[in-house]
Amino acid sequence: MLAQHETWQYRWRKTASRTILYLVLFAGAAIMMLPFFWMLTSSLKAPHEMTLRTIQWFPKVPQWENYKIAWNAAPFGTYFKNSFTIALAVTFIEVIFSSLAAFAFAKFNFFGKNFLFVLFLGTMMIPGEVMLIPNYITMVDFGWVDTYYALIIPWTVSVFSIFLLRQFFMSIPHDLFEAALLDGCGKFRFLTTILLPLSKPAIVTVMLFKFIGSWNSFLWVLIMTNTPKMRTIPVGLTYFVSDVGSYYNYLMAASTFAMAPILILFLVLQKQFIQGIAHTGLKG
Amino acid sequence: MIKIPSEMRTKKYWRETFEAYLYLLPAFVVLGMFSFYPVVKSIYMSFFDWSLLRQQQYFVGFENYQRILSDKVFHQAINNTIRYVIGYVPFSIGLALIVAVLLNSKIRFRGTLRLAYFLPWVTSSVAISMVWRWIFNQHYGLLNMLLVRLSNMVNAVVSFVTLGNYPEVWQFSNPNWLMDPKWTIINIVIIAVWKSMGYNIVIFLAGLQNVPNELYEAAEVDGASPWQSFRKITLPLISPTTFFISIISIIGAFKLFTEIYVLYTGRPGPLNSGMTIVYYVYRNAFERYRMGYASAAAYILFGIIFVFTLIQMAVAKRKVHYAS
């Protein structure tokens, strides 16, 4: 008698199920990619191609100047500058503040440690919308509305990052810390020259999340800015809609360049990114 | 008398405490100003008739809460939000689980496929909602044009099979996705499922990696079908992951705002069909400057999320298997 894996039924069934597997997965992936494709191809279409009642997958002649027209129709240069400034500032300040706090929670033994840690974590339970209104009033009182301060300073600490970094710091042996202290290495020096370099994966994850979160953030920027000079890309884009109305080819061009920096960042760093997410999921 | 642990009496301990507080200081100041303080302040504000348009604020007790709870628009917001949660959460989790299980088998192009599923998650909600607005366009949108083709195909096949007795089983009516209130929540569910799937897939894949392969091999030797090993091995062993994803998804779903705002250009959908709790907060606070009233609504949102989290934790206690 033949072993099971040598029978033709078995092999046939295996090939069939493989084929179905690939078909399902690739069809799914195609559906996921379709909106991106439609955005790109629409962004290159001429006005009359935007009002066809049947599907035209590609423009007859790619209208590259759509991008130029869209770019010049609103102060996108300013929006980009603001988005970059804010996202970079928030990311760097946050990683400094968070690693300082995470270091204290991971390696120090101090009075009120558990209480403070629970207090910090507790803020993750509360939806940000609850804090939105008092924070808005604080900003009005400080005179920070429509300034970089309002768009940067409230976001320079994230409990999530502190938690993530603390977990990572704790996985680095405590003996290392004590040995370094015995050898006369200061605590701050231990943090900057030993702990942080060892924690590169966690640092990269935290920074990536923060950068993307900041780049894409919407509601806070929407309520905090009154003038085009302070708007970021997402908020600028919503104002652009009311300007160009239903010229969707220009809108799609604008959406494309609004997404481009994050998509490029993601494609370059996708490995760190996906590992970071997998890691946080497991911890939860 | 309280017994002070011996470590507390040493000088070293207090020195370390002082140092630790220095390290915590920046985080504590920022959190204090922008998290701890506003949490308390918004409870306080929720008991006031608090308007940004005047100096004097008036204490009203529970009146804000009473008025919100009897407001028809708020009922609509709750209703829409719950419909959205019910539509979004199971689809988002179910589809992600299917794709993750399929991706977890030994296949080629795994990285590329995972990338394709993941890409929507990193994109800005604003930019991508704009794209969907174009796709949902009644006359020139991709969705209706695809559905026309699909309905023609289905009709041709059915007509052929039934020898022309049913020439038009699918009467395509060219739905106006963005103007017809009955589609509003469904539109948003489509966008949200599409956008969030990749994230859930990545987390499910990480969970699936932890299921030992020997279990599947043993099950196969014992003659278990793939469906049986999925039911009896995969599902129980990844239940902590499923639990994590469902909490994250439900909390996220209750905070729906940006997609509605962009898809309907700063309006909560036709006939308030896209009014959500967060939209209600936003409208009252930043369009009408009723800060106390909006704070009360935000606290009701917090209460709802809190109750749901508690329910889920209670369910998890019975159903989730943590590896010991």
Is residue A150 within 8 Å of A144, Cβ to Cβ?
A: yes
* CB contact (8 A) between residue B202 and residue A278: yes
- Tell me the mean pLDDT in the region B154-164: 89
The predicted pLDDT at position B3 comes to: 60
Is pLDDT above 50 for A253? yes
CA distances from A275 to A165, A203, A278, B199, B203 (A): 15, 12, 5, 11, 9
Give the closest of A120, A129, A157 to B301, CB-based. Answer: A129
Could you identify the residue written with the tokens 């339970």? A125
* CB contact (8 A) between residue A133 and residue B118: no
Give the closest of B21, B31, B120 to A32, CB-based. Answer: B120
- Please classify residue A83 by burial: count the beta carbons closer than 10 Å to its beta carbon, then call 0-12 exposed, 13-18 middle and 19+ buried: buried
Q: From CA A27, how far away is CA A4, in angstroms rounded? A: 32
Q: What is the dihedral of CA B86, B91, B96, B98, to 10 degrees?
A: 130
* Share above pLDDT 70 across residues of chain A, in percent, rounded to a whole number: 96
* CB contact (8 A) between residue B302 and residue A110: no
Q: From CA A5, how far away is CA B103, in angstroms rounded? A: 23
Give the closest of A35, A266, A284 to B244, CB-based. Answer: A284
Alpha carbon B89 to chain centroid, angstroms: 7
The predicted pLDDT at position A128 comes to: 86
Is pLDDT above 50 for B303? yes
* CB contact (8 A) between residue B126 and residue A130: no
Which residues are bridge partners to B49 per DSSP?
B58
The predicted pLDDT at position A129 comes to: 87
Is pLDDT above 90 for A280? no
The predicted pLDDT at position A284 comes to: 38
- Tell me the mean pLDDT in the region B170-184: 91
- Please classify residue B15 by burial: count the beta carbons closer than 10 Å to its beta carbon, then call 0-12 exposed, 13-18 middle and 19+ buried: exposed
- Looking at beta carbons, which residues of chain A come within 8 Å of B149? 55
The CATH homologous superfamily of the domain defined by B71-138+175-319: MetI-like (1.10.3720.10)
Q: From CA B106, how far away is CA B198, in angstroms rounded? A: 19
Q: What pLDDT, in 10s, does the model give residues B14-30?
A: 889 999 999 999 999 99
Looking at chain A, which residue has its C-alpha nearest residue B254? A127
- Provide the mean pLDDT of chain A: 90
Residue A172 in contact with partner chain B when CB distance is under 8 A: no
3-state SS record for B32-74: HHHHHHHHHHHHHHCCEECECCCCCCEECCCHHHHHHHCCHHH
Domain ranges of chain A: 4-66, 74-244
The predicted pLDDT at position B273 comes to: 94
The predicted pLDDT at position B86 comes to: 94
Could you identify the residue written with the tokens 């991508």? B128
Is pLDDT above 70 for A190? yes
A74-244 folds as MetI-like fold (1.10.3720)
* CB contact (8 A) between residue B278 and residue A234: no
Is pLDDT above 70 for B224? yes
Alpha carbon B299 to chain centroid, angstroms: 18
The predicted pLDDT at position A3 comes to: 59
- Looking at beta carbons, which residues of chain B come within 8 Å of A98? 27
Is pLDDT above 90 for B314? no
Model confidence at A283, in pLDDT bands (50, 70, 90)?
Answer: very low
Query: Min CA distance, B195 vs chain A (Å)?
Result: 9
The predicted pLDDT at position B6 comes to: 65
Residue A226 in contact with partner chain B when CB distance is under 8 A: no
The predicted pLDDT at position B150 comes to: 93
- Looking at beta carbons, which residues of chain A come within 8 Å of B248? 284
Model confidence at A201, in pLDDT bands (50, 70, 90)?
Answer: confident
Looking at chain A, which residue has its C-alpha nearest residue B210? A282
- Provide the mean pLDDT of chain B: 90
* CB contact (8 A) between residue B34 and residue A132: no
- Tell me the mean pLDDT in the region B185-201: 95
Is pLDDT above 50 for B324? no
Model confidence at B111, in pLDDT bands (50, 70, 90)?
Answer: confident
The predicted pLDDT at position B88 comes to: 96
Query: Min CA distance, A96 vs chain B (Å)?
Result: 9
The predicted pLDDT at position A197 comes to: 93
Is residue B301 within 8 Å of A129, Cβ to Cβ?
A: yes
- Tell me the mean pLDDT in the region B119-133: 93
- Looking at beta carbons, which residues of chain A come within 8 Å of B291? 133, 137
The predicted pLDDT at position A132 comes to: 93
Give the closest of A42, A134, A216 to B42, CB-based. Answer: A134
Query: At a CB cut-off of 8 Å and minimum separation 6, what does B13 contact?
Result: A109, A110, A111, B7
* CB contact (8 A) between residue B24 and residue A104: yes
Model confidence at B192, in pLDDT bands (50, 70, 90)?
Answer: very high
Biggest CA-to-CA distance, chain B? 94
* CB contact (8 A) between residue B31 and residue A218: no
Alpha carbon A20 to chain centroid, angstroms: 34
The predicted pLDDT at position B184 comes to: 95
- Tell me the mean pLDDT in the region A124-149: 92
Looking at chain A, which residue has its C-alpha nearest residue B192? A32
Q: From CA B278, how far away is CA B82, in angstroms rounded? A: 13
* Share above pLDDT 90 across residues of chain B, in percent, rounded to a whole number: 65
- Looking at beta carbons, which residues of chain B come within 8 Å of A32? 116-117, 119-120, 194, 197-198
* CB contact (8 A) between residue A259 and residue B291: no
146-165 in chain A: CB under 8 A from chain B: 153-154, 156-157, 159, 162
Global ipTM: 0.90
Is pLDDT above 50 for A26? yes
Residue A54 in contact with partner chain B when CB distance is under 8 A: yes
Is residue A239 within 8 Å of A228, Cβ to Cβ?
A: yes
Give the closest of B124, B131, B261 to A35, CB-based. Answer: B131
- Looking at beta carbons, which residues of chain B come within 8 Å of A119? 36
Q: What pLDDT, in 10s, does the model give residues B36-81?
A: 999 999 999 999 999 988 888 999 999 999 999 999 999 999 999 9
- Looking at beta carbons, which residues of chain B come within 8 Å of A215? 124
- Tell me the mean pLDDT in the region B178-194: 95
- Looking at beta carbons, which residues of chain B come within 8 Å of A36? 119, 131
Give the closest of B20, B105, B119 to A104, CB-based. Answer: B20
Query: Min CA distance, B178 vs chain A (Å)?
Result: 14
Which residues are bridge partners to B190 per DSSP?
none
The two three-digit tokens of residue A184, written as one number:
């006369």
Looking at chain A, which residue has its C-alpha nearest residue B29? A157
The predicted pLDDT at position A156 comes to: 95
Model confidence at B163, in pLDDT bands (50, 70, 90)?
Answer: confident
Is pLDDT above 80 for B7? no
Which residues are bridge partners to B104 per DSSP?
none
Is residue A267 within 8 Å of A36, Cβ to Cβ?
A: no
Is residue B178 within 8 Å of A92, Cβ to Cβ?
A: no
